[in-house]
Structure 1
Amino acid sequence: MATVERAEVLLTSPGRTFVTLRITTSDGVVGLGDATLNGRELAVATYLRDHVVPLLIGKDPARIEDMWQYLFRGAYWRRGPVTMTAIAAVDVALWDVKGKVAGLPLYQLLGGRSRDGVMVYTHASGSSVEEMLEDADRARELGYRAIRVQAAVPGVAGTYGVKKNGRYEPADHALPDEQLWSTEAYLDFAPGYLRAAREHLGDGVHLLHDVHHRLTPIEAARFGREVEDVKLFWMEDPTPADSQDAYRLIRQHTTTPIAVGEVLTSIWDVKDLITERLIDYVRCSVVHAGGITHLRRIYDLAALYDVRSGSHGASDLSPVTQAAATHLATAIPNLGVQEHMGYPDLTAEVFHGGATYADGSLHVSEEPGLGVTYDDAAAARFEYEPRYLPVARRLDGSVHDW
């Protein structure tokens, strides 16, 4: 019987920092798992290196479910983004190993194809409405059938989601960038530019918008009702999901579809949202919600209540996660859409292979396992660089949800 012989925690910063877990079995099979937690990367790296890796050595890599339960239930201190990201890294790496041992791409182990490709959405933004529309045109020319639109609110420097120099990477400061925010200005401005986007793009493009936890429940309810004529595919994270009860109030006032889950890490965090049909799309990610094993449970629960997947897929998740998410989305029956931002060229020097984009969809690799390899020589050229996500402050100086 093969056992886990070695487990390495790898850090590299090719444009941004990624943490990767590499498991090697006694018969030489290698599996990769993503352990990146944007702005808190070293916390997960330490958790893995000091507390998880010693538990893996000598274990049977085929016992994926047992390992998941061992790391989750056996640790006593459960859940939270650091723990669930570490568990996810192990889980995905073991699935990668299992696929390679079986000689099959991962989606085949998850039940085979439910679809030929995974519809994705990309980001379009601008410092003005005109720039945003131009960016949306570029996305449409690249074949995207679903586009998220964000425009800078005039006079508000802390507008979320607007690209700089053609790319959006919020974690770009050695210490948090403190950004001013005005909810009132946003609520006055955003409905107008969403209508402009719909008029410009027509009804043939799915239109998405990220509120990014910025509103109170009643503000979100009013916003959702005000933009119903835009026919959004979804409004994302209208209010912090710390209280699942808040979404009952929003649901009472608007039929605009709601997507939630990017920062949620377990099935218990979304259980009421799903079973009470308070959301339409669940956005938990492979890397932050305990890996393929646990995210499949979330999707299976969601399918019972007509809630579809909309997994978080920003470029702070490595190509390992993108590949895992695409394999899972290829197999599940209740896909909604998958986020796709792409990666800078430097990232592709470290991570080879994985999912590929064409004609508005991501397509899985047919290589055994995930189909991703890690280039140690390239990774060594990109030393770790600490970067923090921003912090938002209201105009009076008090801290607001970013």
Structure 2
Amino acid sequence: MLKITNVKTILTAPGGIDLVVVKVETNHDGLYGLGCATFTQRIFAVAAAINDYIKPFLLGKDPRRIEDLWQSAIVSGYWRNGPVINNAVSAMDMALWDIKGKMANMPVYELLGGKCRDGIPLYRHCDGGDAIAAEDNIRAAIEEGYQYVRCQMGMYGGAGTEDLKLINTHYDKAKNIHPKRSPRNKTSGIYFDPDAYARSIPKFFEHLRNKIGFDVEFIHDIHERVQPISALQMAKSLEEYRLFYLEDPVAPENVDFLNIMRQQTSTPIAMGELFVHLAEYKQLITQHLIDFIRCHISMIGGITPAKKLAALCELHGVRTAWHGPGDISPVGVVANMHIDLSISNFGIQEYTPMNDELREVFSGCPAIEQGYAYLNVKPGLGIDIDEQKAKKFPVAGGLPSWTNARTPDGTAARP
């Protein structure tokens, strides 16, 4: 009888970002699966959830029962969902799909229904300290073959640096704006002016369209960093620049405002990066309030729930745009792409280039050609990890500064 004999948690940071990968081993010689459980900001909490709860839950069970194991694991703690437990369950789920594919001698995308496309269109981050720098980065990406780019000035949602200088809010480099910080605020870190940011973006895209034209698709991420009314004003002012989509215009607690946005703007909306429960997406999808689903697959529990979410989106004309930042392991990257290949309502895939160290530790990473990703045809997820090489890149486990931004008066701002 096939059964799970061991669950190993591997912490590594070959790309300079803390990653969590799980290896599920079986009693069949050489048969194991890999899964991604990367929640960078809380890696040790996820590791503890895997080692203390998911591992004892899995030992001795049949790895072929993916649906049953997912359903029972997600309720095994009674209170279900949340980024820590979902990432732990995700690692299990991806590893089980990897095992299933290896047993069937097929790539996972074949088990999910087979290919719907040959290559996976990607979008790259082409950010810059000002509009001219962003323009230069966009042109470089176009030279590499990319036709979809995310355009930002500065950090997520806009601008901010450690020395408190707000990044340019106009394409004219001479017009730097410095937030008038509260003189009694001695807190160090990143500062952000939501109003200056919101005013800067229409001029930013005016510059980009005037210089680059309309033959490349632009994406912009608000990252929930402004009030809902400011997001609506931005969406309306950006209509003439025809974005591919405007991402996360409101915070999760303000999603009801999307009803108002939908009635007043034709700018396509992407939402859901911070969601951790499938029910959070349901109303937005079924009421046609969004155009793209932004989803970090390990945060909702892996391939099994993501495939179901994609099917719900298909029925309502919503396309996928899975989250693909640097804080996702190559195992998570290829899991995204196996779903991308097998669904008809694929929209776009975010992609963060992998350095040589990542590709050295993780063999079988996707090939990138002219703005498209191509998976190999190996059974399972088609990716492996060199555990000895992974040990050369220890994790830091610290708190990222970008999640602790503040407004000029010292108020904590959304990251």
Please report the TM-score for the alignment, with normalisation by the length of structure 1.
Answer: 0.93
Does the alignment pair 1:108 with 2:106?
no
Counterpart contact for 1:9–1:45, Cα < 8 Å: yes
Match of 1:58 in 2: 60
Match of 2:78 in 1: 76
Q: Unpaired runs of 5+ in structure 2?
A: 168-186
RMSD: 1.7
Distance 1:156 1:289 in 2: 30
Aligned length: 387
Counterpart contact for 1:12–1:382, Cα < 8 Å: yes
Match of 1:141 in 2: 143
Does the alignment pair 1:340 with 2:351?
yes
**Deviation at residue 156 of structure 1 after TM alignment:** 4.1
Secondary structure class of the residue paired with 1:288: helix
Does the alignment pair 1:32 with 2:31?
no
Match of 1:361 in 2: 372
Which whole-Å deviations, capped at 9, do the CAs of 1:293-349 have from their partners, x for residues lacking one? 001111111111100000000111010011011010000110000001112222112
Greater gyration radius: 2
Counterpart contact for 1:267–1:297, Cα < 8 Å: no
Distance 1:377 1:180 in 2: 40
Match of 1:4 in 2: 4
Amino acid at match of 1:330: L
CA 1:368–1:155: 2 relative to 1, 3 Å: closer
Amino acid at match of 2:395: Y
**Deviation at residue 2 of structure 1 after TM alignment:** 0.7
Match of 1:167 in 2: none
Match of 2:405 in 1: 392
Counterpart contact for 1:112–1:331, Cα < 8 Å: yes
Amino acid at match of 1:157: T
Counterpart contact for 1:224–1:254, Cα < 8 Å: yes
Which whole-Å deviations, capped at 9, do the CAs of 1:208-249 have from their partners, x for residues lacking one? 011111122111111100110110000111111234312112
Distance 1:86 1:315 in 2: 19
1:157 to 156, 161, 165: 161
2:323 to 308, 312, 335: 312
Match of 1:128 in 2: 130
**Deviation at residue 73 of structure 1 after TM alignment:** 2.2
Amino acid at match of 2:393: F
CA 1:177–1:287: 2 relative to 1, 3 Å: farther
**Deviation at residue 290 of structure 1 after TM alignment:** 0.9
Amino acid at match of 1:129: A
Which whole-Å deviations, capped at 9, do the CAs of 1:251-285 have from their partners, x for residues lacking one? 12211001111111221011111111111000112
1:367-386 map, 5 Å = 367-386=378-397
Match of 1:173 in 2: none
Counterpart contact for 1:23–1:30, Cα < 8 Å: yes
Distance 1:178 1:214 in 2: 16
**Deviation at residue 354 of structure 1 after TM alignment:** 2.8
Match of 1:321 in 2: 332
Amino acid at match of 1:294: P
Match of 1:170 in 2: none
Distance 1:87 1:246 in 2: 32
2:92 to 81, 90, 93: 90
Amino acid at match of 1:150: Q
Match of 2:183 in 1: none
Amino acid at match of 2:200: F
Does the alignment pair 1:290 with 2:292?
no
Counterpart contact for 2:324–2:352, Cα < 8 Å: yes
Match of 2:176 in 1: none
Identity, in percent, stands at 36
**Deviation at residue 373 of structure 1 after TM alignment:** 0.7
Does the alignment pair 1:228 with 2:250?
no
Does the alignment pair 1:246 with 2:257?
yes
Distance 1:364 1:186 in 2: 38
Distance 1:247 1:177 in 2: 34
Amino acid at match of 2:414: D
Q: Unpaired runs of 5+ in structure 1?
A: 161-175
Counterpart contact for 1:120–1:340, Cα < 8 Å: yes
